[in-house]
Structure 1
């Protein structure tokens, strides 16, 4: 597949470059992982949610394998619970569908991926902090455009340790946001790869503190 560079207009109406990439099929999450994120009583619901997402991807197979794949950048915004000291993560809702997601956006000319992730974290969730330059992972989803069409996106994730929250930020009042445990975040999102990455982030947060490279 030839890699092309095109211009895409994001949901904020800002023209940003979106680079198409060869598609790597989304990995499925096993029942054991789903049991971990959901608990026995919610396993069927979480499995159905993931299967529905995979079925949706399959319905756009032609675009996935023959059309352009766009890239976005996102932040997993985390902190220690103020009272309990346990790791928690900030999830927000999509303005288009109301689904739970992480702050993310299109590439910005002149900005590196981790810088874009930090910008989106502030614009969409009103948080700032230390962003890791090294990518944490990827997940795949279908981006809904204003004309109700969908394009496949690969999202590159960066970890952001939140140091400050703001009352006023660009998209205040346009989304819901909530601090939850990583396990709860994995329950809420649809994308199997993102579920798995939340669980991996949780494991990292609970490890004994060592020197961490940026």
Structure 2
């Protein structure tokens, strides 16, 4: 994992984001967001590509590590958003995240980053209002429930 902007090059500033979702008993779509470790802002679980894993598989791994959820991840990205990646040393770089839907089937009571992050379910518009990154906000506002269902296995 890169700890500084100097450790990545322009070709590797693309991350993989998971879009954990579920349909509640009331028939309403919910999106799961987590807080970042660096500034406690709401975001999608995301990380760098993992060698030997597909992007969809990586999205599932990130959702489990950061949000404590398991499910069925799509191998097809439903979009992307741009953001500023902040590093542990205070440096930053422009980056992009490819977004892979993950239909949540299980919420864990314990997970790797539980003590470092919060998680919360939102309706899509409320999720858009909660996030800090403007491009992620636009992505969530444009999100269509039928796209999630269509692209989720």
Q: TM range, normalised to the smaller chain?
A: 0.7 to 0.9
Alpha-carbon distance in structure 1 between the residues aligned to 2:151 and 2:86: 36
Query: Whose Rg is larger?
Result: 1
SS at 1:9 equivalent: coil
Q: TM-score under structure 1 normalisation?
A: 0.64
Higher helix share: 1
Q: Deviations over 1:4-55 (max 9, x none)?
A: xxxx5259xxxxx96634xxxxxxxxxxxxxxxxxxxxxxxxxxxxxxxxxx
Provide closer, same or farther for how the CA distance between residues 213 and 87 of structure 1 changes in structure 2, counting only shifts above 3 A: closer
Moved segments of 4+, more than 3 Å:
211-214
Verify the 8 A CA contact 2:101 2:151 in the aligned structure 1: no
Gaps in structure 2 of 5+ consecutive residues: none
Provide closer, same or farther for how the CA distance between residues 101 and 111 of structure 1 changes in structure 2, counting only shifts above 3 A: same
Q: TM-score under structure 2 normalisation?
A: 0.87
- Which of the residues 77, 93, 103 maps onto 2:20? 77
The root-mean-square deviation of aligned C-alpha atoms, in Å, is 2.4
Alpha-carbon distance in structure 2 between the residues aligned to 1:88 and 1:166: 17
- Which of the residues 105, 124, 131 maps onto 2:66? 124
Alpha-carbon distance in structure 1 between the residues aligned to 2:51 and 2:10: 15
Gaps in structure 1 of 5+ consecutive residues: 1-7, 12-16, 22-68
Verify the 8 A CA contact 1:128 1:164 in the aligned structure 2: yes
Partner of 1:14: none
Q: How many residues align?
A: 151
- Which of the residues 9, 21, 24 maps onto 2:2? 9
Higher relative contact order (CA 8 A, sep 6+): 2
**Are 1:164 and 2:83 an aligned pair?**
no
**Are 1:20 and 2:24 an aligned pair?**
no
